[in-house]
Every structure is written in structure tokens, then in C-alpha cells.
Amino acid sequence: MSARRPTLAVWKFASCDGCQLTLLGCEDELLTLADTIRIAHFPEASSVRVEGPWDLSLVEGSVTTPEDAERIREIRRASKHLVTIGACATAGGIQALRNFADVEAFTRQVYARPDWIATLATSDPIAAHVPVDFELRGCPIDKGQLLEVINAFVYGRRPQIPASSVCEECKRAGHVCVMVAHGTPCLGPVTQGGCGALCPGCHRGCYGCFGPKETPNAPALSAWLSRLGMGRDELVRVYRTFNANADTFREESLRHERDTDH
């Protein structure tokens, strides 16, 4: 590490701010973090703003407006490394449900003057607009994983973020499988870990907050979920949450939607 502290900027697009707050939630590590990197732009934490270019930009949120599509290009130009954080930034977020519907119909329903609304037809992950150096998954992201990613960029190494299943975290934690032992539908086998298997640890099925794992096999899981009693409508919905627009989940929900239509 050079004597100069690397600069960090945090950016918000269409999102709930929860992932940014994970950075502020690093209570024990926050002071060390502030000693190691220079927080140059982080409106949630400070009104101090240091002009770019920045060494590392963390980007939260999805691109949903023409203005944001332009703004992310400016941020990319001024950032040495750009890391997207959270399901909105990496997959389009819950607001990507619009991708399965007609946004103009929504605006006509909701707004008195829909012609004042300038919005894109889809909610896009940041990587659909600019090159991204690393995508950190989760809704919200995990604090430990965020620190690992920042650490990796500070020292110029590859982040050690596994793309393996939630099941792996369940088994390491010693949780009993909710699907096998209780018959509870669970997306864990197709979902990337990182949350520490929070929901199965509370006897709930996984909701897929970290998006599809590496080599996911959603059709095979869906076939088993059907055996557990899930109908087609439920199968459409189970894949349509925070990562509805992630490739595997989108294709799987569309597949069941087509089945429902027939």
C-alpha cells in the first residue's frame, strides 16, 4: 500500500440505501477503515466531498432513468475500480419487477401527469451500462463480505467471495435442511451464499437474496418444489423477488409463466 490512502466513493442509484448502511454498520472496523482509506464521497456519512477521480467506487442501486444511465457513465470514467453492491446494483433489484410488466401502464395508473415521468422501461444492473470490476451480491450485502472486498482492492488482490450455494453455509453451520427434514420450499440449492444461511437458520426457506449461485439448476429445483406442493403461480413468484432479473431466476419465472398461460 502506498503512503497515500486510496480514496473511496459511495454512490446511490435506485435503491433503499440498506447496502450503503452496511458500510456504516461496520462499527468495530469503521475507524480502522477510515485510517486505511480516505472516504471521499459518501453522502450518507458525511457532507465532505472530495472531487474525483476515485480509487474505488462502491455503487448501490439500479439504473432506472435516462439521467442515471448518463450519471453511471460519468462515475465509471472517474473511478479506477468500480464495485457494485447489492441486488439492485447487481441484478436490478425488486424494482426490476417492472421488467416483466408495462411501465407506461404503471405511470398512467399512479401519476396525475404521467407525461412528467421520464423513466426507462427496465430496471437494469449497473453492469448493463458500464464495465464493473466486481459484483458483491446480497439484499442487503453482508458486512464481512464488504470488508473483504474493500480489503482486496486496497491490497490489489482478488476478493475471496465464494459463488457456491447457501446449502454450503447451512451445512457448515450445522443447520438441519428445512427442505429435506421439514418439507419447506427453499431456494438455497440455487442461491449463492454469503448471508450465512440466515433464513434456514431460523427454520425458513431461503428467499434467494444473493441471487443465483455458480452453475445453478433452477429447473431441477422447481421440479422438486412442485413435488412439495408448489403450484405454477407460486413457482413464478418464488423466483421474482430481489433478484427477479438475474438471468437464471428471470428465465425460470418466465418458463413457469409461459406454462401458466397455456
Partner 1 sequence: MRVIAPQAMEKLVHLLSDDGYEVVGPTVREGAIVYDRLGGMDDLPIGRGDDHGQGHYRLRDRGDKALFGYVVGPHSWKKYLFPPRETLVRVLRRDDGGFETAPGEAPPPRRAFIGVRPCELAAIAVQDRVFLGQAVRDRAYGARRDGVFLVAVNCAEPGGTCFCTSMGTGPRAHGGFDLALTEVIDGDGHFLVAEAGSEAGGRLLERLAPREATEAERTAAERVWREAPARMGRSMRGDAREVLARSLEHPRWEETAARCLSCANCTLVCPTCFCAQIEERPDLEGKVSERVRSWDSCFNGEHSYVIGGPHRTTVAARYRQWLTHKLSTWHAQFGSSGCVGCGRCITWCPVGIDITEEVAAIGADTGGSGP
Instruction: Please tell me whether residue 24 binds partner 1 under the rule CB under 8 A.
Output: no
Q: How many residues belong to the site for partner 1 (CB under 8 A)?
A: 43
Instruction: Please tell me whether residue 198 binds partner 1 under the rule CB under 8 A.
Output: no
Question: Considering only residues 132-161, where is the footprint of partner 1 by CB under 8 A?
Answer: 147, 150-151, 154-155, 160
CB of 95 to partner 1, least distance (A): 29
What is the side-by-side strand order in the sheet with 54-60? 38-41, 7-12, 54-60, 79-85, 134-136
Please identify which residue in 203, 231, 247, 251 interacts with partner 1, judged by CB under 8 A. Answer: 203
For partner 1, the closer CB: 93 or 185: 185
Please identify which residue in 23, 190, 195, 199 interacts with partner 1, judged by CB under 8 A. Answer: 190
Query: How distant, in Å, are the alpha carbons of 46, 127, 139, 156 from that of 244?
Result: 33, 16, 12, 32
Q: How far apart are CA 238 and CA 222, in angstroms?
A: 10
- Cell 456504516: give the residue: 24
Backbone φ and ψ of 135, nearest 5°: -110, 120
For partner 1, the closer CB: 215 or 260: 215
User: Is the separation of the CB atoms in 41 and 54 below 8 Å?
Assistant: yes
CB of 72 to partner 1, least distance (A): 28
Please identify which residue in 162, 247, 251, 259 interacts with partner 1, judged by CB under 8 A. Answer: 162
Contact segment (CB under 8 A) with partner 1 among 26-34, 51-59, 90-98, 112-120 equals: 26-34
The neighbouring-strand residues paired with 7 are 38
Contact mark string toward partner 1, 95..134, x via CB under 8 A: ----------------------------------------
Instruction: Please tell me whether residue 33 binds partner 1 under the rule CB under 8 A.
Output: yes
All three cell numbers of 250: 428471470
CB of 198 to partner 1, least distance (A): 15
Q: How far apart are CA 196 and CA 238, in angstroms?
A: 20
Instruction: Please tell me whether residue 32 binds partner 1 under the rule CB under 8 A.
Output: yes
Instruction: Please tell me whether residue 181 binds partner 1 under the rule CB under 8 A.
Output: yes
Contact segment (CB under 8 A) with partner 1 among 53-61, 82-90, 132-140, 167-175 equals: 167-175
Which residues bind to partner 1, rule: CB under 8 A?
Answer: 1, 29, 32-33, 35-36, 147, 150-151, 154-155, 160, 162-165, 167-168, 171-177, 179-182, 186, 188-190, 203, 213-217, 220-221, 223-224
